Amino acid sequence: MTFTLVTFVISLLAGAFGAILGLGGGMIIIPALTLLMGVDIRVAIAASMVSIIATSSGAAAAYLRDRLTNVKVAMFLELGSTTGALTGAFLSALVPRNGLFVAFGVILAFSAIAMLRRMGERDKRIPPDPLADRLGLHGGQAPDMPAYRVSRSLLGLFLMYWAGVIAGLLGVGAGVLKVPAMDIVMGMPLKASTATSNFMIGVTAAAGALVYLLRGDVDELTTAPVALGVLLGAVVGAKALAALPVRGLRIAFVVVLIVVAVRMVLQGVCG
Amino acid sequence: MSKPRPIEEGLAVVLRGGVVLSMVLVAAGLGLALYQGTQAGTGIELIRLGLLVLVATPVLRVIWATGVFALRRDVVWTCIGAAVLLVLAISFLLGAAGPA
């Protein structure tokens, strides 16, 4: 009973946090379950896969209603992220883990710097993108966000493929890579980036989670409070995003990037 | 021609429906399992069903969006949606078959 309640409360926080920042919350759920609650790592990873989907679906309805999610950009980029996740799952037996962690950490550190540099920048002229024009990727106006133009969509697709590879290799949602790719490379507003990343991670994780579920890797009594907590947290968190200041959001995201980057490098170096 | 209803509205309904249904199932199952204090039985079955609904929800929304694009005779976007579904299906089949 205590286990269920504590897990539920931690998941509630992870869901709210993940929904706002466009992340799956696996980075919170996995260590919380294994270190704090003494859950087996396999069970924790399976629970985290379910939590990624819960964060995504729980927040998505609110973001769609607020017109923050760019559905077309999400579907276009899912071409890359799902293919990448498939590749990553295959490569996982071949690639040395330690080098991977370090590489991932370095990418995140660079993303953090690039995202900080976008602070306070206004309407920088973005290069025209004929593909984005043709596919109609540009974002319409939302109550809390101006209309915007999407740029470098092919480069974005390429980066999403690699974000998917890392997601498949490490068993994470890789929202920490998806948000910077949309924010820095494709020139989308930060709120559109986190909402669209949130929308995408559920699809990237779906195939893997379904396999876990059917194979019986999911421990019901552990995963049930995680799913409920994350869902409720995401629903509440999603209500807050539209009203949050972009500046604070950006700082929070950069802090998360740096924390994860340091952890990844340490994990890679120390084994 | 009248402006088509924005695709966001239908997708929001699909996602909210999946989320609410799975939450009800998981909550009922968890309550029952804790009450019975067992590792198997109706409670666990309900949780499993609820989690299955939850995991199926994002896939359902890709199917929904693809269907909407197909109804609009939007060839390019129907193909993009179908390609995403195809990759998901391959991932699932390979994952279900392989060890990993």
pLDDT tens for the 100 residues of chain B, in order:
445 568 888 899 999 999 999 999 999 999 998 888 777 788 899 999 999 999 999 999 999 999 999 999 999 999 999 999 999 999 888 877 765 4
pLDDT band for A172, please (50, 70, 90 cuts).
Answer: low
- Closest residue, chain A, to B16 (C-alpha): A61
- With a cut of 70, say whether residue A271 has pLDDT above it: no
The residue-averaged pLDDT of A107-116 equals: 83
- Closest residue, chain B, to A61 (C-alpha): B12
Predicted local distance difference test score (pLDDT) of residue B2: 47
- With a cut of 60, say whether residue A183 has pLDDT above it: yes
Query: Is the separation of the CB atoms in A226 and A28 below 8 Å?
Result: no
Domain boundaries, chain B: 6-97
pLDDT band for A204, please (50, 70, 90 cuts).
Answer: confident
ipTM over 0.90 threshold:
no
Q: What is the 3-class SS of A26-78, one letter each residue? A: HHHHHHHHHHHCCCCHHHHHHHHHHHHHHHHHHHHHHHHHCCCCCHHHHHHHH
pLDDT tens digits, residue range A25-77? 777 788 888 888 888 877 888 888 888 898 888 898 888 988 899 999 999 99
Query: Is B58 within 8 Å of A72 when comparing Cβ atoms?
Result: no
Q: CA A214 to CA A203: how far, in whole Å?
A: 17
Helices (H), A92-184: 97-117, 130-135, 153-170, 175-180
Predicted local distance difference test score (pLDDT) of residue A123: 55
Instruction: Tell me the shortest Cα–Cα distance from B73 to chain A, in angstroms.
Output: 14
- With a cut of 70, say whether residue A155 has pLDDT above it: yes
